[in-house]
Amino acid sequence: WHMPGMNGMELGMAIRADARLAHLPLVMLSSAAATGSAQEMASVGFAALLAKPVRVEQLRRCLAGILGQSAAVARAHIAGAAPGVSATGAGLRLLMAEDNPTNQAVARRMLEKLGHTVEIVGDGRLALERLGRPNEFDAILMDCQMPDIDGYAATRIIRDGGVPGLNPQIPIIALTAYAMADDRLKCIQAGMTDYVAKPVRLDDLVQVFFRCGLFAGKG
């Protein structure tokens, strides 16, 4: 984000203005203190936002997702549009595993307000069963603390290839009631892509989808 002479946002706009470079996917690297919103970055054409220091696994998943969608991104730029369907990543197909009915209702309202389609199950076992049937989910929102199989265990099963037919690298976003460093580390060690602390806010969802590269156009 911060560079001498020209900052990251200005550089992104310059790249988008150059017909020879406009098709290239852009990833913003930013410190936690950087100003600017996900919506602003999306309007310029950044495919993802990664907070520094960037973890190797986080970078790998981000680049894999973006490069896998490069044809759709290029088509969007050729047509003169920003990549993706909107600055908030509208149009995602999401599975949410959450056992609290109030949290389910609140999250559904926010996700649908952003233009996403969400299917909700009440625990990790039901999530695994649903993922084992035909689906086209783009990502999973996974509550960490649930009865039967919790979010950590369900994520490990997915990452270990325990759900036939499902991409084991599907983005999994943790929903946690805690925001301490140890809790974040536990989420990452379980294989979760990123996390959002409860109570979840609308902008939290926009930011986490952006960080995971989910707002870029789906191929």
pLDDT at residue number 80: 35
Q: In the prediction, which pLDDT does 218 show?
A: 43
Q: Where in the chain is the domain with CATH 3.40.50.2300?
A: 93-211
| Predicted local distance difference test score (pLDDT) of residue 86 | 40
The pLDDT of residue 109: 93
**Fold (CATH) for 93-211:** Rossmann fold (3.40.50)
Nearest Cα neighbor of 131 from 151, 100, 108, 158 is 158
Q: pLDDT tens track of the chain, all 219 residues?
A: 667 778 888 888 888 888 888 888 888 887 654 445 566 777 777 877 777 777 776 777 777 666 654 434 433 333 333 333 344 445 889 999 999 999 999 999 999 988 899 999 999 999 999 999 998 899 999 999 998 899 999 999 999 999 999 999 999 999 988 766 677 788 889 999 988 988 888 888 888 887 787 764 443
